[in-house]
Amino acid sequence: MKLIKDKVAKLSFVALLVTVTAAMFYAPTASAHGEKSQAAFMRMRTIHWFDLNWSKDTVPVNDTMTISGKFHVFAGWPETVDLPEISFLNIGIPGPVFIRQGSWIGGQLVPRSVSLELGETYEFKVLLKARRPGDWHVHTMMNVKGGGPIIGPGKWVTVTGTMGSFVNPVTTLLGDTINLETYNLGNTYFWHAFWYALGLAWLGYWARKPIFVPRHLAVEAGKADSLITAGDKKVALGFAVATIGIVAFGMSSTNAAYPVTTPLQAGLLRGMKPIELPARTVNVKVEDATYRVPGRAMQMTLTITNNGDSAVRLGEFNTAGVRFLDPKVHVDETGYPDDLLAEEGLTVSDNSPIAPGTSRTVQVTASDAAWEVYRLADLIYDPDSRFAGLLFFFDEAGGRQMVMVDAPLIPSFI
């Protein structure tokens, strides 16, 4: 007997030590989203985010910030990803460190899934309320049914204050204002504790008498029926009647307390309103495109035709949220995340203004460590080795035109 007790004590002590040791291992906060691990073609050929703006870099708890901008749904959507016919405008944050107070596409609130059209450009906005202090990488994100989460650019935002002070007041249609953060918590604990206690009482009733060995011997000896007494049956009946009675009482008293309830709401919002872009006057033909692995640079030969009435210059190439700029044409003043911004990353062999009615073939190089850091170079290992991106042309009056490019990409290893 003592031997068994000693062994149990020893094993319990060892188990406790192992548990404590495991818990003491360093476990850093997961504050980013593995965005660099997502297949490059998914980020380059599905949703193109641009004109993004994170309204604040630092937000106190209970204060709000917005992420706004536009996204273009790539017309050459890859075959390996389901079409964005059922999509959800999400936000990429590590758990509910913010709450999403609102999200809009084309001015319409989108708490539900939406249907997006290929080739269209949409305006969006997400309103976030800070909840948990820390430094958080806040991404744009579009979930696509059958395609998974398509993560967009992220920016570090600091939330200050204490989570204990966070409140989430909501006014119901019955006129009551509640704090959704803690609403119904006491009621939940009460009912679960109550039923758990009743279950323990049932178990305790049987565990107060010998349980396994004598009962097994009795069953083996053919005396099983003697193990359940008339008193046991009365107690059991009492438990069953009480259970059904309490369930019925709980149901009726709840219905009396909450006479107005509605079913969960769900559905798909169709007909999202895209941006009506002005007629495009710049045409671009990709003659060839190569990615030079040692130089971390993509080179494109483009034939640009200007059919407009104002001379234009190429100022930006945007792919997978990484922006390559020609600083002589365009400088970012929006506070775009540094790691996604190659301020001098775009080189054009001849970037003098292209006059109206003329064409020019130029060599365009987009080079930056971001190709490697954001693992966009891995595109050459993808099943459909094509690249895509947005070219932004600027005219003399400061006007901007967006042109989508999409072409095969040939890797160069020397």
Smallest separation, CB 39 to other proteins (Å): 17
Separation of alpha carbons 312 and 309, rounded Å: 9
Nearest distance, CB of residue 59 and other proteins, angstroms: 15
Residue 126 contacts residue 91 (beta carbons within 8 Å): yes
- Quote the DSSP letter at residue 79: T
Residue 170: CB minimum distance to other proteins, A? 6
Q: Any residues with CB less than 8 A from the CB of 402 and at least 6 apart, and which?
A: 50, 72, 121, 277, 280, 390, 391, 392
Q: Which is nearer to other proteins, 199 or 357 (CB)?
A: 199
Judged by CB, which is closer to other proteins: 127, or 293? 127
Nearest to 289 by CA among 379, 391, 413, 407: 407
CB of 146 to other proteins, least distance (A): 10
Nearer to other proteins, 194 or 381 (CB): 194
Nearer residue to other proteins within complex by CB, 39 or 312? 39
Q: Shortest CA distance to 149 belongs to which of 102, 84, 95, 72? A: 84
Q: Which is nearer to other proteins, 168 or 301 (CB)?
A: 168
If we measure between CA atoms, which residue out of 364, 275, 349 comes closest to residue 316?
364
Q: How far is the CB of 381 from other proteins (least distance, A)?
A: 25
The least distance separating other proteins from the CB of residue 351, rounded to whole angstroms, comes to 40
Q: At its nearest, how many Å lie between other proteins and the CB of residue 297?
A: 33
At its nearest, how many Å lie between other proteins and the CB of residue 38? 12
Give me the DSSP letters along 268-321.
EE-------PPPP-EEEEEEEEEEETTTTEEEEEEEEEE-SSS-EEEEEEEETT
And the tokens for 15? 């188990």
Whichever of 182 and 283 has its CB closer to other proteins, that residue is: 182
138/314 with CB nearer other proteins: 138
Smallest distance, Å, CB 118 to other proteins? 18
In angstroms, rounded to a whole number, what is the distance separating the alpha carbons of residues 140 and 302?
30
User: Six-digit token pair at 159?
Assistant: 């939330």
For other proteins, the closer of residues 155 and 323 by Cβ is 155
Residue the block writes with tokens 């992420």:
67
> Whole-angstrom Cα distance, residue 371 to residue 297?
7
How many Cβ atoms from other residues are within 10 Å of residue 125's Cβ? Answer: 17
Which residue, 156 or 195, is less far from other proteins as judged by CB? 195
For residues 177 and 171, is the Cβ–Cβ distance under 8 A?
yes
Measure CA of the first residue to CA of the last residue in the chain; give whole Å.
76
Closest CA to 54 of 41, 64, 65: 65
